[in-house]
Copies of this chain bind each other. A is one copy, B any other.
Amino acid sequence: MAEDIVALAEGGVTSPRGFLAGAVKAHIREDWDKLDVGMVYSEAPCSAAAVYTTNRVQAAPVTVTRKHLRDGRAQAIVANSGSANAATGERGLQDAIAMAEAAALMAGVPAADIVVASTGVIGTHLPLERLAAGIGAIELSPDGGDDFARAIMTTDTRPKQVALRFGVYTLAGAAKGAGMIHPNMATMLCFLTTDAPVAAGFLQLTLREAVDDSFNMIDVDGDTSTNDMVVVLANGMAGGEPLDEAHPMAGVFREALTRACIHLARAIVSDAEGGTKVIEAVVEGAADRADARRAAREVARSLAVKTAVYGSDPNWGRVLAAIGNSGCAMEEPRTSFWLSAPPGPEICLYELGSPSPFDESKARAMLGEPDVRFRIDLGMGNATATAWGSDLTEDYVRLNSLYTT
């Protein structure tokens, strides 16, 4: 199935047929001179699905978007950086509604078909006049995907985009997020577009699965923001029968969506605040899926593992302690794990309950690479999972402590 999906070297949210995008500098923050409000627009109404933050504190745009997507339909996205419109009370809610209305007016679609998203400082109100003027000035174009991807950046050092082709269809996306917070610059946002005619119910189901295998498996600092949102719009403009679980392309679509989400999730980890490496934790042989996820996430989350990887220290005891700390079913005599710098070869660090002798200088060299993988076999069953984390550096601390509100 995998060979039916082709990654496009360049591309973004406007790669699928019928999607336009654009962005402007609206000066949401007076000290910023960057693209900070962007829109994505589909020439046809779309099926839409979304997954939101689990934080109990939810920003106003999350509340508004939830309401707008209740009918599984949308036609445009408006998103700003610079202010999260979170912890802003009733006025924040009115502002998010006004932001949707400004976008609706510009795009000529009902406000109820607008996805609204914000990222930036918590507790500040949106500068509504500048924002509305900015939205009115956006020029939508088939080449606007890159500008859109840049408009949602906060502490990100680079835009994050993906585009995949499967059959006659294209799926693409843009994301932002670089550590929860610098310092209230919260938030992971991801917007996906496709010209496949995906049915709303199937879109929601597959998005939930894809997010579980991607954005829910990354860890920068263990925090969840008030504004996190992953949205997918499917406009069906590449034609064909409605795509649901009974469709022959169902499996390929599911795979493409998961792959796009994993690509963007990894891009977020690799651009983590202060991070220098991506740690991939692959767990195999777990008793069940929940255990596999738990163990993989804990290895990627553990500050002890993160700091050891940062220091290129082949400190296998920390990996073992993280597995034990995860709460997964495990027994030391059944546990083995390996280190590698993909696509290079693996070396065994721990085998069936005992430390495995290894060449320390080789291990240090692997840990010096930008991609570091721990593959863990629990020997308890057949379930697997993969998680990704950044390393933890002095720069993370510096970025997150020396900022002045």
Contact = CB atoms under 8 A, between A and B. Distances in A.
A58 B123 CA distance: 45
Contact of A325 (B55, B87, B327, B332): B55
Interface in A264-317: 301-304, 307-308, 310-311, 313-317
Contacts of A355: 87, 123
B308 A401 contact: yes
Given A328-B56, A397-B397, A405 B321 contact: no
Given A181-B318, A405-B313, A324 B57 contact: yes
Contacts of A354: 87, 89
B398 A321 contact: no
A223 B304 contact: yes
Contacts of A332: 57, 87, 89
Given A311-B401, A324-B56, A317 B223 contact: no
A321 B392 CA distance: 21
A183 B308 contact: yes
Contacts of A54: 325, 327
Contact of A310 (B89, B303, B328, B397): B397
A58 B310 CA distance: 26
A221 interface: yes
22 contacts: A55-B324, A56-B324, A57-B321, A57-B330, A89-B332, A89-B354, A180-B303, A181-B321, A183-B304, A184-B315, A184-B317, A186-B321, A221-B303, A222-B301, A224-B325, A225-B321, A303-B400, A307-B396, A311-B400, A311-B402, A393-B397, A393-B401
Task: For the complex of A and B, list the 8 residue pairs with the smallest distance between their C-beta atoms, beginning with the closest.
Answer: A311-B401, A57-B324, A122-B317, A307-B400, A394-B394, A55-B324, A56-B324, A184-B317
